[in-house]
A and B are shown apart, each in its own frame.
Chain A
């Protein structure tokens, strides 16, 4: 495992496009998270102009809710596709440059090759989660006065939820990259599926005319996003009808992991079967 990670890091660390995309991701993430409160309050101000009952401004950055709120805003699908696209590029590059062939010629097995990419996905998920955790801690500490240790870490399980979401999302990307092999095609189809196709299917399945039981929450992308389904902002319930959520649930978290496991299985099977 150490050897495979070393090889992967050699490929990545000198890759300018990787740093640019990852840098952009972090910039957007930080800006987005810092602007979230401002934007919600802006929305409240606009509403207050139209209704007589004044709604109070929200503060989303205090402990312990900051964990949940940041996990929620960081797992918006428009933000999540950034690191996923980086993963697609890293995988499809191997086909474009034919370096996967060269790797096999030089004595790598196809299995090792897939594992090396999975290790990178796990590593990058850990790194992103780590930075998000540090960020949440700093934001939380600067917005909360008189905290106890218990209060600070009460909702930290949401950070684990974020980790599962970003991990499975990148594994979905891994799946698209290995199945379609072409950078442009994989990115286009992944983006199309995540941002357009699944939301359409979601609303279609939601209709009681289609299925008696609503299965739409169990779609792959939606099930990954559902781990942190709602932010801890009570006023949004009034405005947008968003429910409240106390913590992350085990069953909800397992579903996307199951999808990820199935996709890894399919990729293993296809790669073993198909010529390089």
Chain B
């Protein structure tokens, strides 16, 4: 594994507001890394720091294992916040400026405009674009010259459902080519659908990070049913790691503090003389996990 980005104990304050607090992260080559958090959780600040727009108060970061420089930024394609272009220039001229800065030739402009569906509008001024088109131009600009890393801050913001699906497809396609992607989003669904890894941020602090599949796999909630519901309710309290349960007439919903395998649960009930008539594992969605994490840290 090759670490492309490592952030070490980064902190940034805006006046009294702690935007990012001792944040450490590592992104490996080839990952689709999701930065997930509600609005104001420090996602954009973090991205602004690692792109040298904002100076951190404390901490450091490295791109490709070395001190960041303008040369390292040329290997990264980024969409941060709003699409920033010259309103009076057409997309081709705007992208020519980007190409000049990055030291690329103009031949790639046609490809990225076609890829983002803007080629037919290549002669229109940027200011005549709809928000969705502006956003797509920002993505086109980030894709210019096949960067090794793509940083996308809320890339589907302001797009219609068709546009969202198109951009997500595009991201997965680019990731398939081996590009590392860092995606900031407040949409869990988006992270769940696109990302391989995720870090959850709240109020500038990292609550959790790991593989998305790992987050989804922690199953510690079960639906149980038995002919003798009362005994089941009594017995289940003694299961190691028991947290709480809720019950309806013929179903109880039990959650545990740690990972529990369904076969262990079944065996436990059987040992206590209870025959289960229903046992179903409730996989928590990332959303539930996310909300729980936020709640625990309130």
**A interface residue numbers (CB < 8 A to B):** 3, 6-7, 10-11, 14-16, 93, 97-99, 101-109, 112, 273, 275-276
Task: Give every chain A residue within 8 A of B80 (Cβ-Cβ).
Answer: 101, 105
Of B52, B82, B85, the contact of A104 (CB 8 Å cutoff) = B52
The answer to whether the Cβ of B84 comes within 8 Å of any Cβ in the partner chain is yes
**Least Cβ–Cβ distance between B51 and chain A, in angstroms:** 5
Of B54, B89, B101, the contact of A103 (CB 8 Å cutoff) = B101
**Beyond known contacts A106-B74, A106-B141: 4 more, CB 8 A cutoff:** A97-B86, A104-B70, A105-B53, A107-B73
| Complex alpha-carbon distance, A3 and B101, angstroms | 8
Please encode chain B, from 87 to 123, with 1 for each CB lying within 8 Å of some chain A CB and 0 for all others: 1110001001110111100000000000000000000
| Complex alpha-carbon distance, A276 and B55, angstroms | 9
The answer to whether the Cβ of B180 comes within 8 Å of any Cβ in the partner chain is no
Please encode chain B, from 40 to 70, with 1 for each CB lying within 8 Å of some chain A CB and 0 for all others: 0000000010011111000000000000001
Task: Give every chain B residue within 8 A of A11 (Cβ-Cβ).
Answer: 86, 89, 97
The answer to whether the Cβ of B160 comes within 8 Å of any Cβ in the partner chain is no
Q: Is the CB of A7 within 8 A of B101?
A: yes
Question: Whose C-beta in chain A lies nearest to the C-beta of B138?
Answer: A102
Question: Whose C-beta in chain A lies nearest to the C-beta of B14?
Answer: A275
Task: Give every chain A residue within 8 A of B97 (Cβ-Cβ).
Answer: 7, 10-11
The answer to whether the Cβ of B263 comes within 8 Å of any Cβ in the partner chain is no
**Least Cβ–Cβ distance between B60 and chain A, in angstroms:** 17
| Complex alpha-carbon distance, A106 and B100, angstroms | 10
Q: Is the CB of B71 within 8 A of A14?
A: no
Task: Give every chain A residue within 8 A of B84 (Cβ-Cβ).
Answer: 97-99, 101-102
Task: Give every chain A residue within 8 A of B102 (Cβ-Cβ).
Answer: 106-107
Q: How large is the interface on B (under 10, 10 to 19, 20 to 34, 35 or more residues)?
A: 20 to 34
Task: Give every chain A residue within 8 A of B78 (Cβ-Cβ).
Answer: 105-106
Task: Give every chain A residue within 8 A of B101 (Cβ-Cβ).
Answer: 7, 103, 106-108
Task: Give every chain A residue within 8 A of B87 (Cβ-Cβ).
Answer: 97
Question: Whose C-beta in chain B lies nearest to the C-beta of A16?
Answer: B88
Q: Is the CB of A3 within 8 A of B53?
A: no
| Complex alpha-carbon distance, A33 and B73, angstroms | 50
| Complex alpha-carbon distance, A259 and B122, angstroms | 45
Task: Give every chain B residue within 8 A of A14 (Cβ-Cβ).
Answer: 88-89, 93
Q: Is the CB of A107 within 8 A of B86?
A: no
From 265 to 293 in chain B, residues with beta carbon under 8 angstroms from any chain A beta carbon are: none
Task: Give every chain A residue within 8 A of B52 (Cβ-Cβ).
Answer: 104
Given contacts A101-B80, A106-B74, contact A10 B85 (CB under 8 A): no
> Which of A107, A108, A273 has the most chain B CB atoms inside 10 A of its CB?
A107
Q: Is the CB of A276 within 8 A of B70?
A: no
Task: Give every chain A residue within 8 A of B51 (Cβ-Cβ).
Answer: 104-105
> Which of B52, B71, B80, B93 has the most chain A CB atoms inside 10 A of its CB?
B52
Q: Is the CB of B85 within 8 A of A101?
A: no
Question: Whose C-beta in chain B lies nearest to the C-beta of A108?
Answer: B101
| Complex alpha-carbon distance, A7 and B94, angstroms | 10
| Complex alpha-carbon distance, A164 and B245, angstroms | 82
| Complex alpha-carbon distance, A6 and B78, angstroms | 23
| Complex alpha-carbon distance, A107 and B102, angstroms | 6
**Least Cβ–Cβ distance between B118 and chain A, in angstroms:** 17
Given contacts A97-B84, A102-B85, A276-B53, contact A107 B100 (CB under 8 A): no
Q: Is the CB of B86 within 8 A of A104?
A: no
Sample of 8 A–B contacts (CB below 8 Å): A10-B97, A11-B86, A99-B85, A102-B98, A103-B101, A105-B51, A107-B74, A276-B54
Task: Give every chain B residue within 8 A of A3 (Cβ-Cβ).
Answer: 100
| Complex alpha-carbon distance, A3 and B84, angstroms | 21
Q: Is the CB of B74 within 8 A of A101?
A: no
| Complex alpha-carbon distance, A6 and B55, angstroms | 29
